[in-house]
Amino acid sequence: MFLVLIMFLSSGCARGNKAIQIKGSDTMVNLAEAWTEKFMEKYPESAVAVTGGGSGGGIASLISGTTDIAKASRDMHHKEILLANRRGVYPLELQVASDGVVVVVNPANPINKLTIKELSDIYTRKVKNWRELGGPDRQIVALSRERNSGTHVFFLETVVKLGQKKNPNEFAADVLMMPSSQAVVEEVISNKSAIGYIGLGYLNNRQKALAVGKDKRGPFFLPNIATVKKGEYPISRSLLFYTNGTPEARVQRFIDFVLSPDGQEIVKTMDFVPIK
């Protein structure tokens, strides 16, 4: 990682051009890399370095001035904005794509749809057995992402806390915290009792996505590009770029590319949802 960064930096310097630094959300790493690849094809003299580290990490880097763009899969918290302002950083928010958080189970699980309330009960361990939801008599293994993940915070706020800011619900202590989306995927594939959540981009046919509804009466929506774009699917969110005020020209050129039809086409090929 460090070597790659050095390579980027040195190749940038050789051309008298500083590399654009993009840090943050792990959900957006692959997307940002796909953008970067096409962008550097189009503008061979430019250099862009993409790193992960989670939305919070990216925002922290923006605040400390070590990145040009922070990519985030959640809004900046009020506290973070205050801290940024204290350090003379004035974050500018820009939506670049949308994402649906998919709730996945093992294909052998007969359950096909759940409400937000039921999901919340699973993750707070009020419901502990699939039987209580009309499934087989098996203990539910609830998988979550680690706390450094934007997806964790998004799922906590939208699902576990039922979208209510003041709701005291938390992930139960015995929910398994997985260090990466890939780890969630592996466990769901190999474990019939598991339930987990991942970004739309990580979904493949070895796991089953559940349809999610706001309440029992429905309607229930499966996560896909159409339902997320229309905002019908209840667990969807915006993918954002944060910059420190209006970005300088070399950064602006990258952002323009991201919002161009070409850039948004890449969003689609990476299984996220374009905003235009």
Binding site residues, another protein, CB under 8 A = 53-57, 60, 63-64, 79-80, 83, 138-141, 146-149, 153, 170, 173-179, 183, 186-187, 190-191, 193-194
Smallest distance from another protein to CB 150, Å:
9
H or E stretch covering 142: strand 141-145
- Angle among Cα 120, 52, 33 to the nearest 5 degrees reads 110
Query: Is the Cβ of residue 28 or residue 259 nearer to another protein in the bound state?
Result: 28
Closest CB to another protein among 12 and 57? 57
> φ and ψ at 119, to 5 degrees?
-60, -40
Q: Tell me the closest approach of the beta carbon of residue 202 to another protein, in angstroms.
A: 16
Q: How many CB atoms lie within 10 A of CB 199?
A: 29
> Cβ 43 to another protein, closest distance in Å?
30
* Least Cβ distance, residue 5 to another protein (angstroms): 16
With respect to another protein, which residue has the nearer C-beta, 34 or 83?
83
CA distances from 207 to 85, 113, 139, 247 (A): 43, 14, 18, 41
CB of 61 to another protein, least distance (A): 10
Task: Pick between residue 9 and residue 183 the one whose CB is nearest to another protein.
Answer: 183
Angle between helices 249-259 and 29-42 (to 10 degrees): 110
- Percent helix, strand, coil in the chain, to 5, is 40, 25, 35
Q: Which CB, 63 or 235, lies closer to another protein?
A: 63
How many residues in total does the chain contain?
276
Question: What CA–CA distance (Å, rounded) separates 137 from 13?
Answer: 61
